Chains A and B, each alone.
Chain A
Amino acid sequence: EPEVTQTPSHQVTQMGQEVILRCVPISNHLYFYWYRQILGQKVEFLVSFYNNEISEKSEIFDDQFSVERPDGSNFTLKIRSTKLEDSAMYFCASSESPGRRGYTFGSGTRLTVV
Chain B
Amino acid sequence: AQKVTQAQTEISVVEKEDVTLDCVYETRDTTYYLFWYKQPPSGELVFLIRRNSFDEQNEISGRYSWNFQKSTSSFNFTITASQVVDSAVYFCALSGSNTGNQFYFGTGTSLTVIP
Contact = CB atoms under 8 A, between A and B. Distances in A.
Interface of B: 32-33, 35, 37, 42-45, 47, 50, 91, 93, 95-97, 100-108
Most chain-A CB neighbours within 10 Å: which of B33, B43, B101, B104?
B101
Contact of A102 (B33, B102, B104, B107): B33
A18 interface: no
Nearest to B43: A108
Contacts of A91: 45
Interface of A: 31, 33, 35, 41-45, 48, 55-56, 58, 89, 91, 95, 98-102, 104-108, 110
Given A45-B102, A100-B32, 5 more contacts: A31-B101, A43-B91, A99-B101, A100-B103, A102-B47
Contact of A107 (B44, B93, B101, B108): B44
B95 A99 contact: yes
Contact of A56 (B32, B91, B101): B101
Nearest to A107: B44
Contacts of A105: 37, 44-45, 47
A39 to B, nearest CB: 10
B50 A101 contact: yes
A66 B91 CA distance: 27
Contact of B44 (A99, A102, A108): A108
A56 B33 contact: no
B107 A41 contact: yes
B10 to A, nearest CB: 11
A99 B102 contact: yes
Contacts of A56: 100-102
